Structure 1
Amino acid sequence: MAPPLSRRSLLQAAALAAATPAISHQATGRAAAAVEAPQAAAAAAPPSWTVQPFALDDVALRPGLFADKRQLMIDHARGYDVNRLLQVFRANAGLSTGGAVAPGGWEGLDGEANGNLRGHYTGHFLTMLSQAYAGTGEQVFVDRIRTMVGALTEVREALRKDPAVLSVGGKFGTAAENVRGSYQYVDLPAAVLGGASAVTLSAWVKPTHDGNWARVFDFGDNTTRYMYLAARNAGGVPRFAITTSGPGGEQGLNGTAALPLNQWSHLAVTIADGTGTLYVNGTAVARNTAMTLTPAALGTVANNWLGRSNFSTDPVFAGAYDEFNVWSRALTAAEITELQNNRASAASAGRGNLASYAFDETSGGRFADASGRGLTATLRRTWGGPSHPGFLAAYPETQFIDLESRTTSDYTKVWAPYYTAHKILRGVLDAYLATDDARALDLASGMCDWMYSRLSKLPEATLQRMWGLFSSGEFGGIVEAVCDLHTITGKAEHLALARLFDLDRLIDNCAANTDILDGLHANQHIPIFTGYLRLYDATGEQRYLDAARNFWGMVVPHRMYGIGGTSTGEFWKARDVIAGTISATNAETCCAYNMLKLSRTLFFHEQQPKYMDYYERALFNQVLGSKQDKADAEKPLVTYFIGLTPGHVRDYTPKQGTTCCEGTGMESATKYQDSVYFKAADGSALYVNLYSPSRLAWAEKGVTVTQSTAFPREQGTTLTIGGGSAAFALRLRVPSWATAGFRVTVNGSAVSGTPKPGSYFTVSRTWRSGDTVRISMPFRLRVEKAIDDPSLQTLFYGPVNLVGRNSSTSYLQLGLYRNAGLSGDLLPSLTPVTGKPLHYTLAGTEFAPFFEGTEDPTHAYFRRSEPRVIFGNTDSGVANPAKSDGTTLLDEIWAGAPFTGKGALVSRVRSTVNAWVTAGRLSQADGQTVVRTAEQATYAP
């Protein structure tokens, strides 16, 4: 184990990175042989992992539950237009979007918080495509990855340069388009208005968005002295205004109708002799005869803009410009009418004598002035440009800059920019690992170089404040992604960058096993710990491992719902409060996704079965159940929250789609096979963690392992060895719920030993092709009780959470002891539904697996009610008494299960009744009735 490195020493080491082979920012192909060796290192697991995963393409899903669920997502991945995902990136760079429409929701400018999270979904999609390719080998996924990587490379190149005109068809010839989301405007020289006391301003515009207050032009110094023409005011009509005393002193002109979108409109304003007139398409629509202000009153102003406002919160004009002219006189109505069908140069007015731009340029970022005054205009971005050539995002760098001085969270201004950066980084890194496309690696490395260039300059206190902010400071799993990249590039800056995301308060408290999770945003913090585990791998610093291990134990089971999910309305509440947090916004699906990643990574370090027990629980229930069993070309159909309130109906299209959970849902559905099998680092053992139809190709051993099962509809599985022969230990997970037995045969012969629930059962031998291992693990029906309210329970059959389908919005009152088996199995109290495996009825309600992605109203939790003492469906007529803590007589009796026979059960009944009679909780007569009923009843096994 390497000695721990301090952040300071890592930063110092980064300064020596010149000795490390670097990756060029230019995508010139895999020119450097030095890149090849680190790539091989990326395939090797860290030395600290005593168990290692197999690559996705080593494990093939076979027909069954997981393959069916995956197919729905694979079809979505195959058919969705990736240009829609790229739209926000291209727009941000001022490139043509080809008419593509952004997905909407969180992925676009019109969604929540002005689309301040845009770009994240593209990263998820790239990861999904990479996993889909690994799982299927279909070339279509490679083609789509390369299309996206190529586009992102073009975007980054455009962002590195000054903006260039996007030339489109105009009213008369060519026009200059400002793509919505480009933050571009035309900057005119300060002399453009010339101090005129009379003026005409004329422009052809084609707006493409109906945002209020976007400026056609704005000339001014600030929000006090200005003159503007807005395409739409608050009432949706054009407005001209001039003032030297702020909004309250505006002298204005308002249009009478909205400008049509995606059509050319001519706007003109004249001011002379105290009269101002606004023309739309040659018609005077407003006149003000009391205008005392002219450009002369403004003087020479600092900001002379087409498309940008002096008010920073106003949107940039989205649309195209053709023919902008300024004259130092008021054109007549006839002259303005003549401009409707002619270029200014061909009209009697002629070109503007103060400024005249035809926008005939088809390249570059400069616009010629034809007025004769030489006032060349320049295309600019409102935010200037990136601080580093590696910057890549679907919005300006301003969110990252703002975060550095922000002390409070406001997601309408800064919404988790490093979280979004993580998703993009992870996506391009996965694209590289899947396709070996050097451009993707160049993008990933450049992003980390850019982040390091920003964050390494910040004081430690600033970093701690940033990462502690909800939700502006959320950075997702970026530490894990950066560490993974470091294994490829070997650049010291990249490891140093990962350390810059240390949130010391969280790490130190969790390392000390001090629970501070109450009130924290759940998914902001879960993925952090997978990253810290990777930092432990890279640095050997023990606190990272201790913190991750202890953190996991603070969530499982103390903040875990039966399905494996956690959080309420995205946040954690107090430890051990489950019933008290049931709501319509439980179990954010991202949380389950990230808890699975954390569980498997912890298992690589220490093979505690509880991690894989949890993995099975969350995977077979919440993750599978979060995906609707329905095909859709436009949406992945994945839940955001899974409400656990009675009668909740799952919403598979939350917030118009494209939420974080739909992103992770796409990933989950294309990597179901990632934890079915693990191997010991020394090759001595194969871990079978999950029972799922699949085929493993273990190249190092020269064998295959084929798992045949309909699990969980089948209560067991069969493993068949293929290929050559190899010696290794087969370690079979014995689920903690497998209390009815776990039996193993090899080639038909029973394997000796007593498998213990919640452990791994080992079969060691030299395996030969054709060897068959059969595992039988009978299910039992059981309940799990809410920690803070034992009467609130959820039903499990083996690994499967069974939920009631009932439209009632009150908790169902259910009893389960009436026909419990001698084994303690509660299943005999339910009635199987013919032809529907894992479906049962109880008290008129159908119970079905949570993993079925339907829109039925469901009851994940019910209220346990055992009003009378009943054995074997024989009712004693005696009320079931309870202690002050809620424990009933029947609870104490059945706590003794399993029973070897009826006599053992009756003996338990007799001793329990005697104790309750002695304690005064049950009368002598009622006690005798209870014992007699137990003696007379007939029981299921």
Structure 2
Amino acid sequence: MQGTRREVMAGASALALLAGPTAGFAALAAGLPRRATPLPLSAVRLRPSDYATAVEVNRAYLLRLSADRLLHNFRAYAGLKPKGEVYGGWESDTIAGHTLGHYMSALVLLHEQTGDAQAKRRADYIVDELADAQAARGNGYIGAMQRKRKDGTVVDAIEIFPEIIKGDIRSGGFDLNGAWSPFYTVHKLFAGLLDIHASWGNAKALSVAIAFAGYFEPVFAALDDAQMQTMLGTEYGGLNESFAELFARTKDRKWLAIAERLYDRKVLDPLTAGQDKLANFHANTQVPKLIGLARIHELTGEPAKAAAPRFFWQAVTKHHSYVIGGNADREYFSEPDSISRHITEQTCEHCNTYNMLKLTRQLYSWQPDGALFDYYERAHLNHVMAAQDPKTAGFTYMTPLLTGAVRGYSTSADDAFWCCVGTGMESHAKHGESIFWEGEGALLVNLYIPADATWRARGATLTLDTRYPFEPTSTLTLTQLARPGRFAIALRVPGWAAGKAVVRVNGQPVTPSFASGYAIVERRWKAGDSVAITLPLELRIEATPGDDRTVAILRGPMVLAADLGTTEGDWTSPDPALVGTDLLASFRPSATPASYTTSGIVRPGDLSFVPFYKQYERRSAVYFKRFSEGEWKTEQAAFVAEQARLKDIAARSVDVVHLGEMQPEHDHGLTSELSFPTSYRNRNGRDARSGGFFEFTMKAKPGPLVLQATYWGEERGRDFDILVDNVKIATQRLSGDVPGKFIDIEYPLPPALTDKKSELKVRFVPHDRSSAGPVFGVVLFTAKPGTAK
């Protein structure tokens, strides 16, 4: 988590994690194991809770989907007649096929979590269909991906791979020779097949995966190291993990050799060296690379391959994560400790958190440490649970943290199929997977989620009864135990509760030992025994890393948000601020669990605070600027001055173009090529990509005129020209040197260019391999008297 989250990353436990998988375990005698594995998901059944509801909502969604529709392109491109109409959204785009991979994995998880037999039958059916498509092709390949040729024709993406073998490798980051992140999709298919094989031993799934891998073996073999690095500049998901896992299943070392070649030096070398150079990298492109590298470490024991995953986890959770546990703005990492400058409507892509939780589980299995699950709990509760609408089963792509922003969920028409729909399918099929862990005879409880479980090693049936995080006590009962015995039960104590946890055995207080974020009770247990932990669910304030004036409010692990009302209409109110010296004293509990009202500390007026994750159809404020009374007066004065500036410009305004909005663009005759509307921080705008432009007409009037364009101050590496009536008036470079705010740049127009004209054509043209903007509005206004040149 973040630098001020000392409760998550404090002290020796964090240092031990960095030191190595066997460091820091003097507490072993108290019962904490050196290694841990989760109880199988099939051994855990959820009891009623929001988590159980999420699984059931997702179950209905998964079973509503048509396997035949997801298989459409796989059959069509193999020369077989499709059995269902292709879905829309991304499944009708060049990334088609990635959803089927996620869907296979989700069906496996659903079967394991609930025992649903239909999920297993459907997964086996998909394997049979893929095997038929593979046999029809005759070369091992399976795929639904498409390639858009230069003439616009859309064809089977398989034709890019012979080009790659010849060394013809073209990518702008996500595309590869006209296909959209093809190896990302390939990884998802591998993952689905390998999950089906692992769960119930479907041998055909492994055979299809091996033949599929065999198609790519000569592709990679044809590339020298430099060409391989060029190819790895595109998004390739966790393809290294897939080949490593094939080695684990088959013991064929050629798959391990490929896994080790799938190593992006530009990203992974600095991380191995302990350097945080993540800024401006696409976040979710990177996380799976570390998961794969961690898997290679598990199979080879090479210490160097563990260094990068450990350092990456520390860097992301401490310096690049928001209070809900998600990361990235507009899908990209920013500079470390700059969260407060990136609180927008495009924060926290769900795929990122899905992958960060997977990486967290890997690191935890190497060396149990409560700090890892402090992060896991944070992200699981506040981000993952917010990313599914329990009414519609829709999923978010981003989970926006900008004040007043609306969550956008995929629709019930099944026409989105974003990447985050795929990870959403999986995330909400497996809420029981990380509750219980075991190691060296001990049981560890990491998440306080109501559940029953079978602990086969002890012949035990477990019941975890809790209403946490709404109520403080969680009780674990050994409902059945094959025979009495002495062993340890370790209950995670979150960092924010350190020194305050109360533990009882069979209702009587005990003094456990404490180590690495756990309360450990080692004794002779018998059937019917119970152990309970009570954690103080107190309010606390948490600052963003690098800015202690931007804060959020938490209750235990739960992020609270100010409820700003329904999502109807536009959000036009000022952002609320917290003013005072003892803020928490002004929070009063309300009748609704985990909800509060404030008194006198919120400007412009008091608000109710509620659990953030439950704000599915409501507007929220999560982050607040914090001021003393004196500072607030200064802030108000600055606000008044800015309003006066804007009012002055409005008074002198001749014409305004609201870019990115359909009617204003139409009214100003906008034309464009390779140009797209965008939205950021509640501002609409437009950009143009290399080779494109956008142009529009503005009204003019006699006298000196100034053209003003608005940009986001942290855009960097953008170079473009601005032309008026085909005359270049400026070359603009955006270099990201004005952090945290929009900037208005004025371009005085030469009088000869505007003389006697009633309208002007304004054109934005990017330089080669650059982009123009985004531009968040253009204003033409008269110059102040005496300022004209």
Q: What TM-score do the two structures reach when normalised by structure 1?
A: 0.59
1:377-526 alignment, distance < 5 Å: 395-398=157-160, 401-402=163-164, 405-409=168-172, 411=174, 413-467=178-232, 469=233, 473-526=234-287
Provide the residue aligned with 1:672 in structure 2: 431
Provide the residue aligned with 1:662 in structure 2: 421
* 1:742/1:755 contact within 8 Å kept: no
Residue-by-residue CA offset, 1:911-940 (whole Å, 9 max, x unaligned): xxxxxxxxxxxxxxxxxxxxxxxxxxxxxx
**SS of aligned partner of 1:585:** coil
* 1:805/1:856 contact within 8 Å kept: yes
CA-atom RMSD in angstroms: 2.8
2:64 to 49, 58, 79: 79
2:578 to 807, 814, 819: 814
CA gap of 1:741–1:498, structure 2 versus 1, over 3 A, is: same
**SS of aligned partner of 2:319:** coil
1:163-242 alignment, distance < 5 Å: none
Residue-by-residue CA offset, 1:129-174 (whole Å, 9 max, x unaligned): 01000111121111211221111111111112899xxxxxxxxxxx
Partners of 1:832 and 1:437 in 2: how far apart? Answer: 53
Partners of 1:749 and 1:139 in 2: how far apart? Answer: 43
Alignment of 1:609 onto 2:370: yes
Residue-by-residue CA offset, 1:712-749 (whole Å, 9 max, x unaligned): 11212000012323432111110012157200011122
Provide the residue aligned with 1:627 in structure 2: 388
Alignment of 1:714 onto 2:477: no
1:82-93 alignment, distance < 5 Å: 82-93=67-78
CA gap of 1:182–1:582, structure 2 versus 1, over 3 A, is: closer
Worse overlay, 665-674 or 481-490: 481-490
* C-alpha displacement of 1:540: 1.7
Provide the residue aligned with 2:533 in structure 1: 775
* 1:702/1:726 contact within 8 Å kept: no
Provide the residue aligned with 1:686 in structure 2: 443
Provide the residue aligned with 1:36 in structure 2: none
Alignment of 1:788 onto 2:546: yes
Identical-pair percentage: 31
Partners of 2:400 and 2:222 in 1: how far apart? Answer: 43
* 2:458/2:481 contact within 8 Å kept: no
Partners of 1:744 and 1:451 in 2: how far apart? Answer: 55
**SS of aligned partner of 2:618:** coil
* 1:448/1:497 contact within 8 Å kept: no
Partners of 1:553 and 1:812 in 2: how far apart? Answer: 32
Alignment of 1:568 onto 2:329: yes
Provide the residue aligned with 1:156 in structure 2: 134
Q: How many pairs were matched up?
A: 582
* 2:580/2:629 contact within 8 Å kept: no
Q: What TM-score do the two structures reach when normalised by structure 2?
A: 0.70
Provide the residue aligned with 2:151 in structure 1: 313
Worse overlay, 437-446 or 409-418: 409-418
Residue-by-residue CA offset, 1:516-544 (whole Å, 9 max, x unaligned): 11111100001111111111111121111
Partners of 2:294 and 2:159 in 1: how far apart? Answer: 29
1:64 to 43, 49, 59: 49
1:116 to 94, 104, 110: 94
Matched to 1:420, the amino acid is: T
Provide the residue aligned with 2:379 in structure 1: 618
Matched to 2:106, the amino acid is: M
Alignment of 1:762 onto 2:524: no
CA gap of 1:162–1:590, structure 2 versus 1, over 3 A, is: closer
Provide the residue aligned with 2:109 in structure 1: 131
Matched to 1:69, the amino acid is: A
Matched to 1:537, the amino acid is: E
Partners of 2:315 and 2:617 in 1: how far apart? Answer: 32
* C-alpha displacement of 1:86: 0.8
* 1:127/1:427 contact within 8 Å kept: yes
Q: Between Structure 1 and Structure 2, whose CA radius of gyration is higher?
A: 1
Partners of 1:661 and 1:585 in 2: how far apart? Answer: 13
Provide the residue aligned with 2:771 in structure 1: none
1:359-374 alignment, distance < 5 Å: none
CA gap of 1:571–1:182, structure 2 versus 1, over 3 A, is: closer
Provide the residue aligned with 1:840 in structure 2: 596
Partners of 1:794 and 1:761 in 2: how far apart? Answer: 28
1:600 to 352, 358, 361: 361
Residue-by-residue CA offset, 1:588-619 (whole Å, 9 max, x unaligned): 11111111111111111122322111001100
**SS of aligned partner of 2:496:** coil
Residue-by-residue CA offset, 1:608-666 (whole Å, 9 max, x unaligned): 322111001100100111111213xxxx5111111211101100128951111111111
Partners of 2:499 and 2:301 in 1: how far apart? Answer: 42
Provide the residue aligned with 1:916 in structure 2: none
Matched to 2:577, the amino acid is: Q
CA gap of 1:410–1:880, structure 2 versus 1, over 3 A, is: closer
Worse overlay, 807-816 or 148-157: 807-816
* C-alpha displacement of 1:396: 2.3
**SS of aligned partner of 1:651:** coil
Partners of 1:554 and 1:524 in 2: how far apart? Answer: 16
CA gap of 1:480–1:773, structure 2 versus 1, over 3 A, is: same
* 2:134/2:140 contact within 8 Å kept: no
Partners of 2:452 and 2:498 in 1: how far apart? Answer: 28
Residue-by-residue CA offset, 1:860-898 (whole Å, 9 max, x unaligned): 1112234279xxxxxxxx9999xxxxxxxxxxxxxxxxx
Provide the residue aligned with 1:736 in structure 2: 495
* 1:54/1:678 contact within 8 Å kept: yes
Matched to 1:116, the amino acid is: T
Matched to 2:561, the amino acid is: V
Partners of 2:394 and 2:524 in 1: how far apart? Answer: 46
Provide the residue aligned with 2:300 in structure 1: 539
* 2:108/2:123 contact within 8 Å kept: yes
Residue-by-residue CA offset, 1:806-826 (whole Å, 9 max, x unaligned): 1555321124655x6xxxxx2
Worse overlay, 482-491 or 591-600: 482-491
* 1:399/1:417 contact within 8 Å kept: no
Partners of 1:456 and 1:729 in 2: how far apart? Answer: 50
1:50-61 alignment, distance < 5 Å: 50-61=35-46
1:251-400 alignment, distance < 5 Å: 313-315=151-153, 395-398=157-160
* 1:627/1:665 contact within 8 Å kept: yes
Provide the residue aligned with 2:626 in structure 1: 864
Matched to 2:613, the amino acid is: F
Alignment of 1:101 onto 2:79: no
* 1:507/1:543 contact within 8 Å kept: no
**SS of aligned partner of 1:663:** helix
2:458 to 701, 716, 722: 701
CA gap of 1:128–1:49, structure 2 versus 1, over 3 A, is: farther
Question: Structure 1: any 5+ residue segments left out of the alignment?
Answer: 1-47, 109-114, 164-179, 184-210, 212-310, 317-381, 384-394, 821-825, 870-877, 882-941
Identify, as 1 or 2, the structure richer in helix: 2
Provide the residue aligned with 1:800 in structure 2: 558
* C-alpha displacement of 1:753: 4.4
CA gap of 1:407–1:773, structure 2 versus 1, over 3 A, is: same
Matched to 2:474, the amino acid is: T
Residue-by-residue CA offset, 1:823-852 (whole Å, 9 max, x unaligned): xxx2x5223332x21222225322221221
**SS of aligned partner of 1:107:** helix
* C-alpha displacement of 1:513: 0.5
* C-alpha displacement of 1:755: 5.0
Partners of 1:712 and 1:740 in 2: how far apart? Answer: 18
